[in-house]
Structure 1
Amino acid sequence: MNSSTICSLFLGLILISQSPFAANATLLGLGGGGGPLVSLICAASSNKVECNKVLSSPQITQAKNYKQLSKAITEIAMKKAVEGQAFLKGLAQKSKSEGLNICADSCYSSVVRDFKSCLDFIDGDPDTLSYDCKVAVDEPTRCDSAMAANHIVNPAVTALNRQILFLCELIFKTIDKLPNH
């Protein structure tokens, strides 16, 4: 290699290492080997592979601290809950099932409301934040119970409930790291 090629490679490495994305990736553990934040959250999660998948989204990589990370995960969870509710309403309308109606109208309305409240209190009272984020976990379980009581087996609904429960778990893990918790 000639000296200009070596100089160009060296300059490129310096620019890459100083980029904001690289700095955030290192802070959050998204760069090579995983750093402390993502490593701690995912190491303590029930599904390390899914945790790393969720925490590698572009929305997460922009977070600079636990508060931003909590907000980003809650926004992802809220989006999934809204999509899930629409999916459940479609199923309920087609099947006319009481169990699916309970899931769509009652359970997932509560999940969406709880996630919205959680987002509203990210900058506010830590006790209210913790409560609002943690009660969301009750509703997918209640949906599972309504499905079982009505003898409905639907793997897609079960998968949705598991996904919302897992996102709740990640939210808990990040809000517990916030100051005053």
Structure 2
Amino acid sequence: MKFSLFFTLSSILIVSHASGSLYEELCKASGPDNTRCLELLKSDPKIVSAKDYGELSKTILQFGVKKGIEGQNYMKGMMKSKPSSAAIKQCATVLYDGVVGSFKSSLGELEVDPMTANYDAKVAGDGPTTCDRALAAEKTNNPKIAAINSNILLISKLAYLATDKLPQA
């Protein structure tokens, strides 16, 4: 009897320890992006320490705003060094204004309207997708902008997955 109780308790401890943190679970849900997700999110201690989906959603959206602004600033710098690229200008202004705006809008809706927050988190991914298409149409190959777009698209996906777990008001 004692052995059975000890075995059960040990199993519970092992299982609870084996299950990862919330952000790791979210990365698993991102499918093929799992490894890149873990690398990206690990860079923000607030995301790593999130205790529930409300906190995780908020920190990922804040991360999205920060990374969106950083990406936009990089592209604005590129506009100055390569003023002939209409695609880079479109990405740096219109499209990334939309990215940052969607992440901020989602943040603002988190507690009042989780469904709208979820929608806005998803819409934030439209900017990098359209930017990639504009660059391709112009035959502009910029690996740094491609990486920024890829990361923003992933953050949008993760914010969408996290906000999808929030209780609906």
In the other structure, the counterpart of 2:22 is: 37
1:39, CA displacement in angstroms?
Answer: 4.2
In the other structure, the counterpart of 1:153 is: 141
In the other structure, the counterpart of 2:68 is: 81
* 3-state DSSP of counterpart to 1:153: coil
Structure 1 residue 109 corresponds to structure 2 residue 97: yes
1:180, CA displacement in angstroms?
Answer: 1.6
1:32, CA displacement in angstroms?
Answer: 5.6
Match for 2:59 among 63, 68, 72? 72
Structure 1 residue 48 corresponds to structure 2 residue 34: yes
**Structure number, greater radius of gyration:** 1
The correspondence of residues 82-97 of structure 1 with structure 2, limited to 5 A, is 82-96=69-83, 97=85
Please tell me whether the aligned partners of residues 119 and 160 of structure 2 are also in contact (alpha carbons under 8 angstroms).
no
Using the size of structure 1 for normalisation, the TM-score is: 0.77
* 3-state DSSP of counterpart to 1:47: helix
Moved more, 55-64 or 98-107: 55-64
Counterpart AA for 1:175: T
- Distance in 2 between the 1:144 and 1:64 partners? 35
Structure 1 unaligned spans of 5+: 1-30
Please tell me whether the aligned partners of residues 65 and 103 of structure 2 are also in contact (alpha carbons under 8 angstroms).
yes
Higher relative CO (CA 8 A, sep ≥ 6), structure 1 or 2?
2
Using the size of structure 2 for normalisation, the TM-score is: 0.82
* 3-state DSSP of counterpart to 2:36: helix
Change (3 A) 1:93 1:172: same
Larger helix proportion of the pair = 2
1:53, CA displacement in angstroms?
Answer: 2.5
1:142, CA displacement in angstroms?
Answer: 0.6
Counterpart AA for 2:80: Q
Number of residue pairs matched by the alignment: 151
Structure 2 unaligned spans of 5+: 1-15
Please tell me whether the aligned partners of residues 23 and 56 of structure 2 are also in contact (alpha carbons under 8 angstroms).
no
- Percent identity at matched positions? 40
Moved more, 166-175 or 79-88: 166-175
Counterpart AA for 1:37: L
Q: RMSD of the TM alignment (CA)? A: 1.9
